[in-house]
Structure 1
Amino acid sequence: MSEIHSQLLSCTRNIICSFVANNFIECDKVPDLIQGVYGSLAGVLDVRASIVTPERQKPAVPIASSVAPDYIICLEDGRKFKSLRRHLRVKYSLTPDEYRTKWGLPDDYPIIAENYAAERSRIAKEFRPGRASIVPTR
């Protein structure tokens, strides 16, 4: 006896026991009730087995060519961005981690283009936030 068949029998037994304990039923109707419950449970399993899982979405561009020094190409729609973070949040309600997981990307997959990150870093270092410029007083 297969595991699924034994589980169906167990569920059928539990349902029939509960029903008979709380309801009056003639003895000659019990076999029909058992067949009906078992058939319904088996039908539910058939429906669940026939549900087709949706096909995995294909990236708009090959993953290998989605990273360039000046831009990152979004795998969802194929558009080029210096930074994907806002686009993913606004248009697709995805965080960078969810995006990486969805497409099977490594944890170190960039969300910001390399040259853009370097430029932002240079600007930040140039302004040195949090440090007051020292002007000699005389």
Structure 2
Amino acid sequence: MAIEAGEQDDLVELTTQIVTAFAAGNHLPAAELPGLIRGVHASLQGLTSKNAQPAEQQRVLTSAEIWRSIQPNGLISFEDDKAYKTLRRHLARLGLTPEAYRAKWGLPVDYPMTASAYSAQRSQLARDLGLGRSRSAAPEAPSSAAGDGSTDRDNPSADAEQSVTQDSIPDPEQEDIADAFEEEITREPFDEDGVEP
């Protein structure tokens, strides 16, 4: 199919701009300039041609296909139809982010990237290791008074835990205790501090 005269003028103008910009930023021998012009013009003609092949159409997924892809032990990838515990690493190998994958396949924003069984397994492992709990809420170790013969001197962490209790921290609302506490932690600068007295 022939390109109209107006479109041909636009192609010539675009070709001129592209070749000019390329030649301004790159060293180009004069003998290669006609080949570059022909190549750019042919590429632009191919892009505007009515006979150009349409881009590969992504199939539209039904909601049933989307929900079938979510299984407890794995998520089915729409890229290769294989099951994965987590899709993130698989998508990274393909050069996709989770957001791009969701957009490409028309998936909902809350489409999971990790299988529910795998997520529950990792969550249980974290709970078993005590992750997510503050140290004060962690279960206490068995007392040494159980008659095993060990003393608190054998366990230095027990001394540290016993020395810091709510009773040993002064109440800042009581002025005299607060002043005494402040005096305990204030010190005079040393010569090594680099501060002039």
Q: Classify the TM-score, shorter chain.
A: 0.5 to 0.7
Letter in 2 for 1:87: H
The answer to whether 1:110 aligns with 2:118 is no
Code of the residue aligned with 2:125 in structure 1: it is I
1:101 aligns with 2:103: yes
Instruction: Give SS of 2:70's match.
Output: coil
The reply on whether 1:79 has 2:79 as its aligned counterpart is no
RMSD in angstroms over aligned alpha carbons? Answer: 3.6
Match of 1:120 in 2: 122
- Label 1:44 to 1:93 Cα distance change in 2 as closer, same or farther (>3 A): closer
How many residue pairs get aligned? The number is: 105
TM-score relative to the length of structure 1: 0.58
Distance 1:64 1:53 in 2: 30
Contact map agreement 2:73 2:115 (CA 8 A) in 1: yes
Structure with bigger gyration radius: 2
Using the TM superposition, give the Cα deviation of residue 64 of structure 1 relative to its aligned residue in structure 2, in angstroms. 3.1
- Aligned 1:5-84 pairs, distance under 5 A: 44=45, 47-58=48-59, 62-84=65-87
The residue aligned with 2:180 is none
Question: Displacement, 1:119?
Answer: 1.2
TM-score calculated relative to the size of structure 2: 0.42
Distance in 1 (CA, whole Å) between partners of 2:58 and 2:46 is 27
Q: Which runs of 5+ in 2 are unaligned?
A: 14-40, 145-151, 153-197
Partners of 1:63 and 1:75 within 8 A in 2: no
| Aligned-partner residue type, residue 47 of structure 1 | T
Higher relative contact order (CA 8 A, sep 6+): 1
Q: Percent identity?
A: 34
Q: Note the C-alpha offset of 1:46.
A: 8.8
Report the CA distance between 1:122 and its aligned residue: 1.2
Letter of the aligned partner of 1:63 in structure 2? I
Residue-by-residue CA offset, 1:48-76 (whole Å, 9 max, x unaligned): 443232122348xx333111111100100
Question: Following the alignment from structure 1 to structure 2, what is the Cα–Cα distance between the partners of residues 46 and 65?
Answer: 39
**CA displacement, residues 92-131 of structure 1 (integer Å, 9 cap, x when unaligned):** 1111111111101011001100111111111111212375
**2-structure distance, mates of 1:45, 1:95:** 31
Q: Distance in 2 between matches of 1:51 and 1:44?
A: 10
Q: Is the 8 A contact 1:88 1:96 kept in 2?
A: yes
Q: Describe the shift of the 1:44–1:87 C-alpha distance in structure 2 as closer, same or farther (beyond 3 A).
A: closer
TM superposition outliers: structure 1 runs of 4+ over 6 Å: none
Compared CA separation, residues 121 and 47, structure 1 to 2 (3 A)? same
